[in-house]
Amino acid sequence: MATFLLTSCASIGDQTGPAGAPEEIRDLDRPTSVSRVAWTWEAPEGVADLAGVHAVPGGVAAVVDDGVIGLSGENGGVMWEHRVPGSEVFGAVAGQGRYFVLQVLDSDDTEAPPRMVVIDLSTGESVHDYELRDGDSASGLVRGGLGSVTGEHWITVEDDENLVAHELGSDATAWSVPDVAGCDDVGSVDRTAATDDVLVAAFTCYEQPEGEDPVEMTEGQEFVSGFAGFDPATGDELWRTEASAGMFPADAHERDLTVHESGLATAYYPYDQGGQVIDPATGDVEALDGGEVLWSSEDGSLLGVWDGSTRGYRIQELGGDVRASLGDERVGAGTAIVNALQGDIETVGLEGGLLHMGDLFEGGTGETELAAFEGFEETVPVTFSWEAEASMELDQTVAVPGAVAVSYIDHSGSSGVMGLQ
């Protein structure tokens, strides 16, 4: 197992405190608006594409083929690095932003057990590194997502409806909850999301008539969906709320479930384009009027809500009162800038407005418009300076501490991240 030894480094300043203890990473405020490309970072040689970018304390985590690299949102410098040569990795942020979790697979030995690596994002140091061996299949891809890691457990969904908590460090089963959805016919746990005190599980139930074609995509099909909260330390159920939303059962299956920095949870239904806000402490659910939450304040009192059907964006209080809004009535130069962007447009919500990013660019020497920031006061273009004839494809755009991080791959096959400020 020598090939699985973890390598790490910290490259911004001195990351060690007294007696060699790791120094805590300084966090940064997230931008309220952007107007320029402030920095770029090129991935190490041999990395053809990035597998994802994630907001972490101090900046952004870039997942490469064999590990993850933490970059400063202020200047793009490397804060910390964990790479495992000869491996394939999958990663996610967990524990309300306290951990980055890697699952490591040996690229050459498919029979080798996967490894679980848990990184403390306050320092960039690894706090757990161990083999996954519990159960018939130790693969975390079969068990479920990597995001539901708390201080002691990794909680997964098994056999569609059962919650199972695995001890970090040993992988032993700590507790399990069978039949979470509690359905008479077809039931599932579709997503989970963990705060410090509550694991939120989104569930769906519906009836599939025997001998008939699947009905989960049938509009008007009756179904029940909702959320249940569990104590992540014991598995005890704390509350249960039925709050059906979506056009059909598959809409509930495909909903996104996100825990924000404040601890507030939100759900978004892709077919119906509707949203909900869930209080993990009580289970109270508030429906959003045609909205996906793209931004939230640190204390959760304000939400940035995007309505894809009307192309409108609003900053609203948790109770629904609107503080500021953008909509189709705003026309002119700002709309022209947005319409000039190339390829599919990705929309990112910030406190001061919307960032619209194109995804395909051909450039000669000089400046090219990559994005438009549509603020509540004015709209400004975001440009990129080219040194030669080139092309570039943008992938993910994520608001992170210190910048808006944009991953890209260029015509030469190099990939990297740009920081917009």
Please check the confidence at residue 345 and state whether its pLDDT lies above 90: no
| CA 164 to chain CA mean position, Å | 22
- CA–CA separation, 44 vs 129, rounded Å? 24
Cβ atoms of 304 and 295 within 8 Å: the answer is: yes
Cβ atoms of 235 and 177 within 8 Å: the answer is: yes
Please check the confidence at residue 18 and state whether its pLDDT lies above 80: no
Q: Which of 103-112, 269-278, 286-295, 360-369 has the lowest mean pLDDT?
A: 360-369
The full DSSP string for 94-110 is ETTTTEEEEEEEESS-T
Determine whether domain 2-28+53-328 maps to CATH 1.10.10.
no
Query: Which uninterrupted H or E stretch holds 319?
Result: none
158 vs 332: which has the higher pLDDT: 158
At 53 the pLDDT is 97
At 174 the pLDDT is 95
User: pLDDT category, 340, cuts 50, 70, 90?
Assistant: low
SS3 content of the chain, % helix, strand, coil (to 5): 5, 50, 45
Backbone angles phi, psi at 143, to 5 degrees: -65, -40
Please check the confidence at residue 232 and state whether its pLDDT lies above 60: yes
327 vs 185: which has the higher pLDDT: 185
At 207 the pLDDT is 94
327 vs 415: which has the higher pLDDT: 415
Count of CB atoms within 10 A of residue 213's CB? Answer: 8
At 336 the pLDDT is 63
Backbone angles phi, psi at 31, to 5 degrees: -65, 145
At 55 the pLDDT is 97
- CA–CA separation, 352 vs 406, rounded Å? 19
319 vs 270: which has the higher pLDDT: 270
pLDDT in tens, 98-146: 999 999 988 888 788 889 999 999 999 999 999 987 655 556 565 668 8
User: pLDDT category, 19, cuts 50, 70, 90?
Assistant: low
User: What is the average pLDDT across 4-14?
Assistant: 37
User: pLDDT category, 294, cuts 50, 70, 90?
Assistant: very high
Looking up tokens 């942020």 gives 93
Smallest Cα–Cα separation from 222: which of 242, 239, 241, 202? Answer: 242
Smallest Cα–Cα separation from 202: which of 102, 293, 285? Answer: 285
Please check the confidence at residue 193 and state whether its pLDDT lies above 90: yes
End-to-end Cα spacing for the chain: 43
pTM equals 0.89
Q: What is the residue extent of each domain of the chain?
A: 2-28+53-328
Percent of the chain with pLDDT strictly greater than 90: 59
Count of CB atoms within 10 A of residue 295's CB? Answer: 22
- CA–CA separation, 403 vs 396, rounded Å? 14
User: What is the average pLDDT across 385-409?
Assistant: 87
Mean pLDDT, the chain, integer: 86
At 251 the pLDDT is 93
